[in-house]
Amino acid sequence: MGFDVTWHPISQEEMFLWYFDRLEEARRGDYTAAMSFAEQYRMGAADGSQDSCRKGYRGMLEQGAGIPPDVPFDKSHSFLLAMVQGLFRTYYYTRGGIYSGLAEMDPAMASYTLPFQEILGAKLQNPVRNRIYENYCGGVYIPEKEVSRLLEDYESGKVEAPLRQCFGNTLPVFLKALLHAKKERLGLLEATEVLEPNPLNLEATVCRSYLRNCDLGGVKIYAETARRQLEEAIRRGGDDPAGVQVARQVRREELPPEPPAKEPEPPAPPEEAAPKKKGFLGRLFGGN
């Protein structure tokens, strides 16, 4: 089973503005600054989801504020940070393509990353591994200055081979995320299961952030690859792929995670308040 990896352009300053500096306020029940950011960035305005995005943001901060210091950082704060970023701006999806694996195996690739120990300093209380090692987990952070260096080294051929081996046909999506980060002078945070597309039934897709902000290129690659593999399997079985009907819609499942437990479970999507409509992924990819 592979990982559903997302890439979140965010600066170190924004990590504090949008998340870490808001946690103490959340512990006091004060969400004034957070809601001010939601208003400033017009969170959810693209499709009239302002209220749901604000509710989701508040829920994420509430969960983060209640995380005890013995819970792994990667499985709690880092994962929540990726979810929060997705409420503010574009993020990117790659099926597989775990940079954490490269960084663990190759010190040269790890040199492009910055550990949260250096970002948070004495504020870091939770144990942290700075990598994806399970589902529902934050991963590496490629800081602002290293984004440019990684792109330059890819273009010169220095790291082209390991990146191609890691990302395969989703490499253009990762490069697009890097280019976005470079243009806006941002870093890039890795996470897994913020978005979980079902490539053969997009109606079953789960999003734990704001789906409208997800760049759809990687989802399209995943869906097309899965469809092609399914059709090949059907042909090998002697059947006609045209006779197999695959639903290709999406149910947007956003908003707040459940309150934290000792070992926090992945946030459960809430029930939809409105009747189901054809999702914008369904409109993009077709289907009934």
pLDDT for residue 198: 85
pLDDT at 285 over 60: no
Nearest Cα to Cα of residue 266 among 278, 258, 275: 258
Whether the Cβ atoms of residue 257 and residue 63 lie closer than 8 Å to each other: yes
Q: How far apart are CA 259 and CA 30, in angstroms?
A: 17
pLDDT for residue 16: 98
- Distances from the Cα of 154 to the Cαs of 18, 66, 123, 260, in angstroms? 31, 41, 34, 40
pLDDT for residue 252: 41
Nearest Cα to Cα of residue 214 among 9, 3, 1: 9
The stretch 143-161 carries a mean pLDDT of: 98
Nearest Cα to Cα of residue 266 among 44, 82, 19, 125: 82
Residue 131's φ and ψ, nearest 5 degrees, are -165, 160
Q: What residue spans define the domains of the chain?
A: 4-285
Nearest Cα to Cα of residue 211 among 31, 90, 45, 66: 90
pLDDT at 11 over 70: yes
Q: How far apart are CA 268 and CA 56, in angstroms?
A: 12
Q: How far apart are CA 217 and CA 147, in angstroms?
A: 20
> What is the torsion angle, in degrees rounded to the nearest 10, for the CA atoms of residue 218, residue 219, residue 224 and residue 230?
120
Task: Give the count of beta carbons closer than 10 Å to the beta carbon of residue 183.
Answer: 10
Nearest Cα to Cα of residue 273 among 253, 258, 288, 257: 253
Q: pLDDT of 46-66, one tens digit each?
A: 999 999 999 999 999 999 999
Look at the pTM and tell me if it is higher than 0.85. Answer: no
pLDDT for residue 231: 53
Contacts of 212 (CB under 8 A, 6+ apart): 44, 46, 47, 49, 280
Q: pLDDT of 201-242, one tens digit each?
A: 777 889 999 999 999 899 999 888 867 655 565 456 555 455
